[in-house]
Amino acid sequence: MKLLGSSRSPYVQKCRIMLVEKGVSFDYEEVAPTHAEVMGGNPLGKIPTLIRDDGRGLYDSSVIVDYVDGVGGAPSLIPTEFESRIEVRRWEALGDGIMDAIVAIAHENRAPVEQRRGPDYFARFERKIDAGVAAMEHDLGAKPFCFGPAITLADVACASALLYLDRVMPELNWRAKHPVLAQHFARLQERPSLKALG
Ligand SMILES: N[C@@H](CCC(=O)N[C@@H](CS)C(=O)NCC(=O)O)C(=O)O
């Protein structure tokens, strides 16, 4: 299988972490969303797009991680038991939501000054990021992982969001307010799956 994406996309990084955690072998190609192969595999023209071995495209990141969890070996990073699965999926939604808010701010920062929507717009998305990171710290609590006794998609999603936050908005200095989450993230950063991102 081949993952099409860019290291600038947090949704792509989420899929790459998942692929390595699951020990699934894959090719990775650094491309823009407008690349012909992306358009061929994903009518929405977005990255990440996964091209399966039979040539069919798969999207978006939440479907790709589900697929990777299924085709990879044990252990499963997405629990099958209903309540557990919903909780891990909620963590994923939290990570994705933080990434969405950072993307909104990053887009706005790239817009010509006269077209920007002003401080209220920034504040709205910064509030989502602050509240999202606070929820991660709270929900992690004293646990060794975001959910259960070992790594799951919840940790993959959490790490993807925090990596992106560090890259795009380091000035937020989230570690000062969330030391427990900071320690967990530091441990996750030691894993080969995160180190492989370069
Ligand atoms: N919800 C999607 C988001 C993917 C996404 O928005 N990707 C961006 C790059 S970060 C993209 O391809 N944008 C190009 C476009 O929307 O035309 C996922 O989780 O995969």
Place of tokens 């709205």: 124
pLDDT of residue 172: 95
**Does ligand 1 lie within 6 Å of residue 49's CB atom?**
no
115 or 34, greater pLDDT: 34
Q: How many CB atoms lie within 10 A of CB 177?
A: 13
Per the rule left: phi > 0, alpha: psi between -120 and 50, beta: everything else, 23 is left
Mean pLDDT (whole number) for 149-166: 98
CA distance 92 to 86: 10
Q: How many CB atoms lie within 10 A of CB 21?
A: 23
pLDDT of residue 113: 87
107 class by beta-carbon count within 10 Å (0-12 exposed, 13-18 middle, 19+ buried) = exposed
Strands 27-30 and 57-58: unpaired
Asked if residue 96 has a cis previous peptide bond (ω within 30° of 0), the answer is no
198 pLDDT exceeds 90? no
Closest-CA residue to 31 (of 49, 43, 15, 57) = 49
- CA Rg value for the chain: 17
CA distance 183 to 196: 20
Among residues of the chain, what percentage have pLDDT more than 90?
93
pLDDT of residue 118: 86
User: Which residue has the CA at smallest separation from atom 11 of ligand 1?
Assistant: 46
**Does ligand 1 lie within 6 Å of residue 97's CB atom?**
no
User: Which residue has the CA at smallest separation from atom 12 of ligand 1?
Assistant: 46
In tens, the pLDDT along 62-73 reads 999 999 999 998
Mean pLDDT (whole number) for 107-132: 93
* 7 and 95 Cβ atoms separated by less than 8 Å: no
| 180: confidence class by pLDDT, cuts 50, 70, 90 | very high
183 pLDDT exceeds 90? yes
**Does ligand 1 lie within 6 Å of residue 9's CB atom?**
yes
**Does ligand 1 lie within 6 Å of residue 47's CB atom?**
yes
